[in-house]
Amino acid sequence: MTFLWSPLLVSLLILPLAVAAYLLALRRRRRFAVRYSSLSLLREAASHQTWWRRHLPFVLFLLALASLILALARPVATVVVPSNKATVILAMDVSRSMCATDIAPNRLEAAKDAAQAFVQNRTSGRQIGIVAFAGFAELIQPPTTDTQVLTEAIENLTTARRTAIGSAILRSIDAIAEVDNRIAPSGNTAASGGTSDLAPADVPLSPHIIVLLTDGASNAGPPPLTAAAQAAARGIRIYTIGYGTFSNTTRMDCGDDFNSDQFFFGGGGFQFEPQTGSRDFRLQIDETTLKQIADVTGGAYYFASSAGELEDVFQNLPSFVVATRETIEVGVFFTAFAAIMILLAMFLSLRWHPLG
C-alpha cells in the first residue's frame, strides 16, 4: 500500500502527543483527595473501574485518530480482482481456400455455423467482435453483446484473395483498444508499458482474447509473429485454430462469387491445372507459426478437420474471466473504521462513565 499524499503522514506525531496529554491529565486527577463516608462504598466503586474500562475508550479514540490521518494521506492499494468484462475477437479467415468442400457444404459455411453457435453461448460480461481477413483484415463488427447483430455479421462473410494473418492480429488488437483504453493500439507498445519482446509472464494478463481461425499460411501483410509479439506485450492471449482436412482434392464452391473469378490465391495453397481447368486446393496450414503465435501470447493451438471438431473447439475454449490488477484508493475504508471506533468509544464511555 502506498499514499498519494504521504507528507501528511507526519501528522501521526499527534498520537504520542495525545498519549502524553492523557497521562498528564491522569496524574493531575490523582492530586485531588475526596472524602468517602464509608470504605465499603469505595471498594464497591473501585471493583467496577477495571483498567481496561478506564482506558479502552481512549485507546479506541487513538485508533480512530490514526485511521483518519491515514485516510487523509489518500492510501492506494493494488489488488487482484476477477474481471468478467472480457472482449473476444473472432478473427476469421475468408480467403478463397475456405471454399473447399472437404467440409460440407464448404469450409466457410461450416465455420460460420460454429462461430454462430459460439456467439449464442452467452457468457456474462463478455462481448464479441468479428474481424474478417484475406489479403487484408477488417473489423466487420465492433465488440458487442448483441447476438443477433453478431449472427448477421458472420452470415454475411464472403471470400477474397490471399491470407494476411499478421494483419488480422493487429486489427484485432486495435478493436480491443477501441473499447478498453488500457490497451494500446497496435504499433504503440510504449503506451502499453512494454515492448514487442515481452513474454506473457512479464506483463499482467488482459481479460481480452483473440480467437484466430485459418485454413492456410500467411502470404500477405506483416509477419504473424511480429504481430503476435505486440499482442503478448499487452497481455492479450491468442487462441489459434488450424482448419481443414489433409490432402484435400475436393472442388471449390462458394457460389457465384467464387465462380466469377478465374485466378485467385487463397491461404490453403492454390494449384491451377490448365489442361483440365480444375482448381486444386491442398491443405497448407502453417501449424508451426500458429503454435508459435499461441505460445508467445499464452494461448493455445487447436486443429479441426470437421464441422463437429470445429464446434467442439469453439465450445471448449477456456474461460475468459481472468484475475486483473487494479490500483484503487482505499481511504474510504480507513474513514469508515475511524467512524466505527469513535462511535464505539462514545458508547462505552457513556455506559461506563455516565454523566449524571
Segment 345-353 mean pLDDT: 80
Q: Give the model's confidence band at 252: pLDDT under 50 very low, under 70 low, under 90 confident, else very high.
A: confident
Decide: 16 and 69 in contact? Cβ < 8 Å. no
More confident residue, 18 or 37: 18
Q: Quick check: 51 pLDDT over 80?
A: no
Segment 109-131 mean pLDDT: 86
The confidence score (pLDDT) of residue 297 equals: 93
Contacts of 98 (CB under 8 A, 6+ apart): 106, 107, 108, 111, 159, 215, 254, 266, 268
Start-to-end C-alpha separation, the chain: 45
Q: Give the model's confidence band at 143: pLDDT under 50 very low, under 70 low, under 90 confident, else very high.
A: very high
**Domain edges within the chain:** 2-79+334-352, 85-320
Decide: 257 and 229 in contact? Cβ < 8 Å. no
Closest CA to 229 of 195, 280, 278: 195
The confidence score (pLDDT) of residue 102 equals: 84
Model confidence pLDDT, tens digit, residues 334-346: 899 999 998 888 8
What is the chain's mean pLDDT, rounded? 79
Q: Give the model's confidence band at 82: pLDDT under 50 very low, under 70 low, under 90 confident, else very high.
A: low
For the chain, what percent of residues have pLDDT higher than 90?
Answer: 31
**CATH topology (fold) of 85-320:** Rossmann fold (3.40.50)
More confident residue, 62 or 46: 62
The confidence score (pLDDT) of residue 25 equals: 80
Segment 44-57 mean pLDDT: 66
- Looking from the CA of 2 toward its CB, the CA atoms found within 13 Å total 5
Per-residue cell: 274: 490448365
Residues 142, 309, 307: CA angle, nearest 5 degrees: 70
Model confidence pLDDT, tens digit, residues 257-295: 555 443 333 344 433 333 333 444 444 788 999 999 999
Q: Quick check: 17 pLDDT over 80?
A: yes
Model confidence pLDDT, tens digit, residues 293-318: 999 999 999 999 888 988 899 888 77
**Range with the poorest average pLDDT among 6-15, 96-105, 182-191, 315-324:** 315-324
The confidence score (pLDDT) of residue 137 equals: 94
Amino acid at 240: T
The confidence score (pLDDT) of residue 16 equals: 87
The confidence score (pLDDT) of residue 133 equals: 95
d(CA 28, CA 24): 6
The confidence score (pLDDT) of residue 296 equals: 94
The confidence score (pLDDT) of residue 181 equals: 86
The confidence score (pLDDT) of residue 294 equals: 95
Q: Quick check: 10 pLDDT over 70?
A: yes
Q: Which of 198-207, 251-260, 294-303, 316-325 shows the highest mean pLDDT?
A: 294-303
Segment 234-262 mean pLDDT: 73
> Treating both helix axes as pointing N-terminal to C-terminal, what angle do 51-72 and 14-30 enclose, rounded to 10 degrees?
160
